[in-house]
Chains A and B, each alone.
Chain A
């Protein structure tokens, strides 16, 4: 059977990774290519690069990063952040990314999902969703609302509806980030993840809240996620991919153990 994927996520600003990462082995911890290589060599199943560069005129820097990553690591990686148009998607894919993820751009212009899927294939298009728990209402029946701008702007979209709409438009995968859980290191939003994962037919990557290996075990079993995104828990050297995968393996989750 298919293995559940463990995916480190690296934030990149102006061509440098942003989190202070404690590593040995003479790794340049600010270099997204070196960081990618480190995770590639240590068992990552995929890597996500998230471009948090504020100004769009610095976009070529990210494209250069993507090219160098593609020459260095031979597992799939995706790029998100700052993707506004199909032309942006094309640049990133041509530079060597396997997938491209759209978040706010898709909320503001859902057709970008359809256009991307038609131009490059569904498997290239990841729908990123930032979601906050709210009081269930007529407008938001699931009690989970889509937000953008890091959770500051509520979009009046029900998260479950949006996930299904994203699938219908042609997204090949959903990266589901709980704004409530993000940064807490207290565990993923299990109920939200299960709700979305059991109502779409495409893979769901759980994001936000990972602090220890058991959190991944929970979201990949109870939460029924297909993959789990991790950041601080590995970036700061608190845990290793090997440790996480050993824990999942012991817990009966099928993960890739040989690399």
Chain B
């Protein structure tokens, strides 16, 4: 069973619909008991960092998530679910979970696009991800694939070893991060067509280590 953390963020059901389509059962839940029993956890979200952190703390989900991470259960963060893993977000000047060292910053329109027009914010639409190294959750992605993004803030990990993939939008930012049994994507795999679904499929097979995914789905 996959637990989708319900911290009152938007877009929880789209992750569940994608999992259902792929044949995986999941539960959108804030129940500590259910999260403690889950085989894997998805930490999704659309929303502001301030409100997200407030809800996570109020529901006690910050503590449960950290415990399960320590216990080795595979965790996938998506969008805001990636951003709040870091120490601090410029959005609402929010102290975050601090699971990964680094901070989250607002895009600047200044660098301009290829016609020197100011960059539009949010960064919304399809963009490339350059994967820096192999990882079981990001394997089997066709060359040239793009992923769907919608965000105004981007992560800046302190430890380069946590950067799994990068994307260019005025700056080159970490659009995918990975550390032990934790992976996270700034883009939305559930809205990124077959390449995004491949990532969800990989995650559902992943045992939480950097080795190749096991053959049989365990969820």
Contact = CB atoms under 8 A, between A and B. Distances in A.
Interface of A: 1-5, 40, 45, 70-72, 74-76, 93-94, 96, 98, 120-124, 172-173, 198, 201-203, 224, 226-227, 256-259
Contacts of B60: none
Contact of B120 (A45, A72, A226): A226
A96 B14 contact: yes
Interface string B176-219: 00000000000000111111110000000000000000000000
B150 A256 contact: no
B123 interface: yes
B117 to A, nearest CB: 6
Interface residues of B, number: 42
Interface in B30-66: 46-48
B101 interface: no
B124 A40 contact: no
Given A74-B192, A96-B13, A98-B191, A123 B124 contact: yes
6 contacts: A1-B113, A1-B169, A227-B125, A256-B126, A258-B146, A259-B194
B120 A201 contact: yes
B118 A124 contact: no
A120 B191 CA distance: 17
A256 B146 contact: yes
B143 A2 contact: no
Interface string B133-149: 00000000011111011
B120 A74 contact: no
A75 B193 contact: yes
Interface string B104-142: 000001000111011011111111000000000000001
Contacts of A201: 109, 118, 120-121
Given A2-B126, A258-B142, A259-B195, 4 more contacts: A1-B113, A2-B113, A198-B117, A201-B120
